[in-house]
Amino acid sequence: MGSDDESDSGSIDVIIDYEDSQPATPPMEQPNVVGAAAAQAPIISSYNDKIRPLLDVIDRLRLLMVMKEGIQLPTIVVVGDQSSGKSSVLESLAGVNLPRSQGICTRVPLIIKLQNHARPRPELYLEYNGKMVPVEEPQIATAINIATDEIAGPGKSISDIPLTLVVRKDGVPDLTMVDLPGITRVPVHGQPDNIYEQIRDIIMQYITPKESIILNVLSATVDFSTCESIRMSQQVDKNGERTLAVVTKVDRAPEGLVDKVTADDVNIGLGYVCVRNRIGDESYEEARKEEARLFETNAHLSCIDKSIVGVHVLAQNLVRIQANAIAKCLPEIVKNISAKLDANVSELEKMPKALTSDADATQAMMRIIQAAKESLKKLLWRGEFDEYPEDNTKHGTARFVEMLNRFSDELHNCEESNLSKDFLTEEIKGLEDAKGIELPNFLPFEAFLRILRKKVERISYLPIKFTEKYWDYIDDVVMSVLTRHWEMYYHVKVFAKGAAHNLVQKLREQSINRVKEIVEMEKLTGYTCNPDYMMEWNELMKEQDHFINQISGTDMGPLPCCVNLQGFGEIQVEHLRQHSNVSILQQAFALKMRMVAYWKIFKVRLVDSMALHLQYHVHNLVHNDIDEIMKELMGPDGHGIKMMLVESPAIVAKREKLKNSIKVLKESKDSVAKVMDRIVVYDAYLV
């Protein structure tokens, strides 16, 4: 691969790599760390002076824990397989000794804030568990171990709670990085069996946000494509657009390294930097001298482009990439902070104020009841669904029509509406049972009533089932609406839902009783003034002579087993030939046609009656009966008012959470506002 400048040419141009405008120092003229530091000190100083405010504001947002508000920050995340040399790279950048041990050295996310300043005495301190602990440089590793034990517990367990190390020191690059536990698949003694899964989850948490910059530490001694850290980073950054690789231990496997970093088989979009870490008791100055000598004199390593070798190159690349990422993300961060702040303020304003008097509680209760009443009117009466635009189950008027249509279909398709089954059998039996001393050409009305009552009785369960189902639906809608309106008053909500349920059950019982009365009225007698009855009966009777002739055999020809009857289709008639009395067949046919014509009227009338009855009760519910809930809540002793004055712990916690969130977001917004206008200034200065 080419230089890192080439690999990052697509990044944002708000902050340009300032080093490009400086004279390049030949590699052979950088024999030691002092010379390298001297050569780059003006560059770091000039560049860092300009990006330091940007980095400070991001660090400030991170300190405010704005990421807990869903605001993602540009972060350099350091990942690598266990023993890849990750800690050694960070030591070289920070110039301080970090913990070293067999197995996992980093057991918690370690946020390392490097701040370049010219004071002769370095300042180092740790931040964790809400406290700041100053540390002397020789004791930094011990202090980190102590803090880690306090966060993650003693032993070898890990935690996702971060620990922050601040290093203010002359000559360090201005960087903020998050060092994560090294990846291991095999737990050692004292580690949980799922140590790999725990580490993976922490790493994915940090590298998944698109704002994260992944610093992937790879050992030159392994095949890069087999590294677990590469596999993880490729899951979230497939093309490597935000991944930078640093190759360690180059002195152990120099042969073929130049091909590995130029072929780039694992998609490292921000390029590679090859480094030699400090070995044994080497000082950082000695380590840099050895690094420069190694890349100049080793037959294999000297072939690597000098623009991608050395800790100082790594520092410069990280500073540039970090600055560009911050400048690129900052406008979106401002936008997200403002949006989240507005949403939280709006949500807090919608929350009810804490009630302090009976008068306040009474007014609040009446206001909520009226709001719930209006919502129910919209859903169950007026057909206005603006409060539940996406929840079709709450669209009461539309659902009632659907339920009514299903009831009508059931009624029209039930067994009693089968006109051809056992044709005339029931009518003949009814006529025989109703025999008496009477004129022979009169149909006994009692025979019609007996058949009608049996048919109505056999379908009586359908309107009752429909009524029960509809009131169950009404109960669900009422409960849902009351839950939403009383959400902020838990104690009253439970009581109000109970009162509403009792009310709906009372209306349900009344409604079912009324439906039973309607059914009983239909069984009492047969009556209609609908002219369709006589028209239908007269039309049906036109088929009587033809039908009787087909059964009695008065027509010439063989007797058919079926007769095609208009309005009925194919009718089985063999069972009717046992009746030699043509008169009884004629009477049965006339009785059947009367019942058919009347049953059509009955079914339509029953559906209409159910629709009007249920609409009437729902109208009374949403306009009048719902007020009973208010009366029950008030009660003779005012117990509902007293409950209104007691806020649920969940509401108190939610209000405090929103207040704290708003405070954090306001501070974050103020912090960002101080540097937003500088981005343009930096652009003009650097370009």
Which of 174, 313, 323 has the alpha carbon at shortest distance from 685? Answer: 323
Pairing of β 123-128 and β 163-169: antiparallel
- State the Cα angle at 219 between 218 and 225, rounded to 5°: 60
253/275 Cα distance (integer angstroms): 12
Contact 493, 486 (CB under 8 A): yes
Name the 3-class secondary structure at 124. strand
Output the pLDDT for position 679. Answer: 59
570/498 Cα distance (integer angstroms): 56
498/561 Cα distance (integer angstroms): 63
Which of 547, 478, 523, 517 has the alpha carbon at shortest distance from 610? Answer: 517
Output the pLDDT for position 687. Answer: 42
Which residues lie across from 183 on neighbouring strands?
81
pLDDT digit string, tens, across residues 600-641: 999 999 999 999 999 999 999 999 998 888 777 776 666 666
Output the pLDDT for position 401. Answer: 95
- State the Cα angle at 267 between 186 and 276, rounded to 5°: 65
Q: Which ranges of the chain have pLDDT less than 50?
A: 1-46, 681-687
| Distance set, CA 402 to CA 394, 398, 409, 605 (Å) | 13, 6, 11, 18
Which of 361, 367, 523 has the alpha carbon at shortest distance from 457? Answer: 523
DSSP state of 559: P
Which of 295, 297, 213, 278 has the alpha carbon at shortest distance from 4? Answer: 213
| Helix ranges restricted to H, 621-648 | 627-634, 639-644
Helical pair 33-63 and 649-676, crossing angle rounded to 10 deg: 140
Q: What is the CATH number of domain 69-337?
A: 3.40.50.300
Output the pLDDT for position 560. Answer: 72
Q: What is the CATH number of domain 358-420+439-535+600-645?
A: 1.20.120.1240
Start-to-end Cα distance in the chain: 27
Which of 96, 98, 97 has the alpha carbon at shortest distance from 110? Answer: 98
Nearby residues of 187 by Cβ (< 8 Å), 6 or more positions away: 193, 195, 196
Helical pair 445-459 and 461-485, crossing angle rounded to 10 deg: 40
CATH 1.20.120.1240 positions along the chain are 358-420+439-535+600-645
Contact 239, 10 (CB under 8 A): no
Pairing of β 75-80 and β 175-179: parallel
Structure tokens belonging to residue 27: 């590699």
Which of 590, 307, 330 has the alpha carbon at shortest distance from 441? Answer: 590
Contact 157, 192 (CB under 8 A): yes
CATH 3.40.50.300 positions along the chain are 69-337
Output the pLDDT for position 200. Answer: 93
Q: Which long-range contacts (CB under 8 A, 24 or more apart) does 379-387 make?
A: 379/477, 379/481, 380/474, 380/477, 380/618, 380/621, 380/622, 381/618, 381/619, 381/622, 381/623
Contact 601, 532 (CB under 8 A): yes
Element (H, E) at 678: helix 678-686
SS3 for 648-672 is CHHHHHHHHHHHHHHHHHHHHHHHH
pLDDT digit string, tens, across residues 72-106: 888 899 999 988 888 889 988 888 888 876 556 78
Pairing of β 163-169 and β 569-572: unpaired
Which residues lie across from 244 on neighbouring strands?
215
- pTM for this model (two decimals): 0.58
Which one-letter amino acid corresponds to residue 639? Answer: H
Which of 94, 51, 46, 95 has the alpha carbon at shortest distance from 74? Answer: 51
Query: Is the torsion defined by CA of 25, 30, 35, 38 positive or negative?
Result: positive
529/244 Cα distance (integer angstroms): 89
